[in-house]
Amino acid sequence: MQNNAWRADFPILTQTIRGKPLTYLDSAATTQKPQAVLDALTHYYTHLNANVHRGVYYLSEQATKAYEVARQTVAEFIHAPSVSEVIFTRGTTEAINLVATSLARLKYFQSGDEIILSGMEHHSNIVPWQLIAEETGIVLRVIPVLADGTLDLDAYTALFSAKTKCVSVVHVSNVLGTINPIEQIVAIAQAHHVPVLVDGAQAVGHIPVDVQALGCDFYAFSAHKMYGPTGIGVLWGRSEWLHRLPPYQGGGDMIRSVSFEKTTFADIPAKFEAGTPAIAEVIGLKAAIDYTAAMPWNMRLAHEAAFTAAVIARLQTIPGVRMIGNAASRIGVISFVMSSAHPHDVGTILDREGIAVRVGHHCAMPLMKQFAVPATIRVSCGLYNDETDIAHLIPALSRVIELFGRPESHHG
């Protein structure tokens, strides 16, 4: 694997941390932003700053046009059948809360109904359903995770009953990097006439996403995990569901008419976009999609696969390293533990070397329990990572062993 030209597009990577070159290996938490995205944000605030959908003056018209062109770009990016099915949210978390809350307001759930989740869900796809469970009496059923970090699809099939009302599952695990077979998961649910929501936060920046091919009913993702700004995300939903669901929030821009006696709501997507939206961030999301669209998927996939294979191969040469999950179908998210040191100690030592990795439970505490670890060290990659990052990481991990002792002599 050779060093890549993409790295130069990300200004933040030119800096040093504690006197060491920045080695950023936490893209699963948030990706760094290319200059093209930074320029788009600056251009909006410098030349277009105005509210959308409301003004008849030039700036508002131009801002509205840019905002809606961005929606069209997102629709094309995920192959949505209709641009009106693209709802802008604050991120994946709000998108999932929107679906869960609106389904509950629809009286879609009765006490005793069941929701199927998986054992590798992020807390953002667990807690919203638990909140709804407290209100409605629904029961959460969980797809087991196998030792290799894949889902037990036989057990998943067996979870369905006459009470199953919804499936909500992650596309790609933020801990294991596992790419779940969404098409198969959806097909099984469809056989039982059950809708499926997919948490695509970790997928959209790493693999092509076609919501029509996946067959799901809802798909949620965040811009900041795909080289775009924070504070903006997307919920895609089938038109028939979006028309059926009641609004998630009330306020300006999502109404057709308001009186003190009655309010009628706007059509989708406006029905779910109350208040002034994150206009600049939406434009930044478009810039991120445009930036990555210039790179063929086969090139991006090959780069990430090579980086991931190289990291895993080098990690396996370090005494006491244990990988967590080894699914054949995966992205560049690699979790591991070291027998000689707690993950938090490892993270602190790496930080002194200018290396940013994530340590902890990664908002996936049930999965940590499954693998009997309190936390893991997680290395996750982006377009900008290459051999230079691995060359910094591996010696730093070896330094952990020097400080804490080799695994066989460690008794703490």
Looking at residue 221, the DSSP 8-state letter turns out to be: E
3-state helix, strand, coil in the chain (%, to 5): 45, 20, 40
| Peptide bond before residue 277 is cis, with ω within 30 degrees of 0 | no
Q: Are 356 and 29 in contact (CB under 8 A)?
A: no
- Both tokens of 231, joined, read 């504070």
User: Cα–Cα distance between 257 and 263 in angstroms, integer?
Assistant: 6
Cα angle: 84, vertex 265, 78; to 5 degrees: 15
**DSSP bridge partners of 142:** 117
What number of other Cβ atoms are within 10 A of residue 187's Cβ?
12
Structure tokens at 130: 């638990």
Strands 114-118 and 139-143: parallel
Q: Using CA atoms, how far apart are residues 360 and 348, in angstroms rounded to an integer?
A: 12
Taking a C-beta distance cutoff of 8 angstroms, is the pair 199, 121 a contact? Answer: yes
Spatial neighbors of 168 by CB under 8 A, at least 6 apart, are 96, 99, 100, 115, 116, 117, 121, 125, 129, 196, 197, 198, 199
| Calpha distance 410→412 (Å, rounded) | 6
Kindly calculate the radius of gyration of the chain based on its CA atoms and give it in whole angstroms.
22
Q: Which of 166, 216, 363, 381 is catalytic?
A: 363
From CA 198, how far away is CA 167, in angstroms rounded?
A: 8
Annotated catalytic residue 363: yes
Nearest in space to 315 (alpha carbons), one of 393, 213, 237 = 393
Q: State the catalytic residues.
A: 363
